[in-house]
Structures are given as C-alpha cells and as structure tokens.
Amino acid sequence: MGHGSRRLCRQRPYGGDHRPARRRNPVRDAEEIQQLVHPDDRDALSEKIQQGLRTEGRYEAEYRLRPGPNGEITWLRAAGIQVLNAKGEVTSICGVVQNITDRRVEEDQRRTLMAEVDHRVKNVLAAVQSLAYQTAKRTTSLESFLSNFSGRLKSMGSANELLTAARWRGAGSPTWPPPSSAASRPARPAGRDLSCS
C-alpha cells in the first residue's frame, strides 16, 4: 500500500506488508514516478488519470511497473481524489497505491484455465456430433441408433477416464476396456488378411 499527495516529494511506494517496495528513498518528482511505470502503460495511465480528474475529480487505474532485475512484473492499483477548499478550488490530490500482483496473476491463470476448458468442451461436443452423424448413417431404426450411439458414448467416456487418470499423457492400448457393445467393436471386412512390411 502507498500514499501520496500533490507534494510529490512525499510520495513513497509501499509493498503489501506496509514496508517500502523496491525503493528505500521517496521519489522526487512526477517524472521519476513516470519512469517507474512500464513503458507500455505510461501513456494510458497518464490519460486515465487526467481524464478522471477532469471529469469526475477522481481517478482509478491499474498498471505495471518496469520489470525487476529478474524480469518479474509488479501490478499496482492507484486511486486518487481531488481535495477542495471552502471555495471549491482544488488544493491537492490525495491518493493511494496498492500492490495487486497476486490478484492479477490469479486472474490470468483463471482466464487460461477457462480458455482450456472451453476448448476441450467444444472438442467433446464436436466429437459427439460426429459420432451421432456416423451412427445415424449406419442404422435404420431409432432403437438401433439409440443402442449403438449409447454404446459408443460409453466407450468415449471410458477413453476419457483413462486419459484423465494418465493426466492426458496418453494411455497404453492394453489398458483399454473391452467394447461395451457391438457398435463399438472395430469392423472386420470380409476377405483375406493382408500384411505389410
């Protein structure tokens, strides 16, 4: 957590445990503060602060600091409000700065996980749709379709259980369960067996 006022010489960044963060001495001026911000975030941060103060008399923004010695990224949340005198004139700006790195990392991980789940769900739905289509082409009655389709779905479920148990690193074919129905057994065309070498 940090605090600050219009007198920039008093601004001092703090970490989440209320100790000075990454710096031992207070920053001296606005230019030095700007240099601490990640280059890709400087313009957007400046614009958001200016627009917020101009339209609402307050601002709130999230931004990154320049990468640390080991390339680590620190995320901060800054919020401030104008302090007015009895005449309604701005006398200073009071603000706070909070380290939100842990929260941003968790949000990024959550987005990555949701994207992976979405991808896998779409793959499963596409596989089920294809399975239904292929089963329908090879059946002549609703009862036959339901029986064959159900058997193939059970086989898909068994395959998924094996992959999950193996943490999606692949499962050996000797561990596959026996087919749950005739519909899930491999077809064997009539004729002589051929071998390739």
178 pairs with which residues across the strands? none
Task: Kindly list the domain boundaries of the chain, sorted by start residue.
Answer: 2-99, 105-167
Report pLDDT for 186.
52
- Mean pLDDT over all residues of the chain? 78
Residue 22: pLDDT above 80?
A: no
Report pLDDT for 191.
54
Q: Between these two residues, 161 and 45, which has the higher pLDDT value? A: 45
Q: How far is CA 150 from CA 137, 142, 144, 184, 185, in A?
A: 15, 12, 10, 10, 13
Alpha-carbon distance of 107 to 87, in angstroms, equals 44
- Judge contact between 74 and 99, C-beta under 8 A: yes
Architecture of the structural domain at 2-99: 2-Layer Sandwich (3.30)
Report pLDDT for 138.
86
Residue 10: pLDDT above 50?
A: no
Within the chain, strands assigned E span 2-4, 58-64, 75-84, 90-99
pLDDT tens-place string over residues 96-132: 999 999 999 999 999 999 999 999 899 989 989 999 9
pLDDT tens-place string over residues 52-100: 999 999 999 999 999 988 899 999 999 999 999 999 899 999 999 999 9
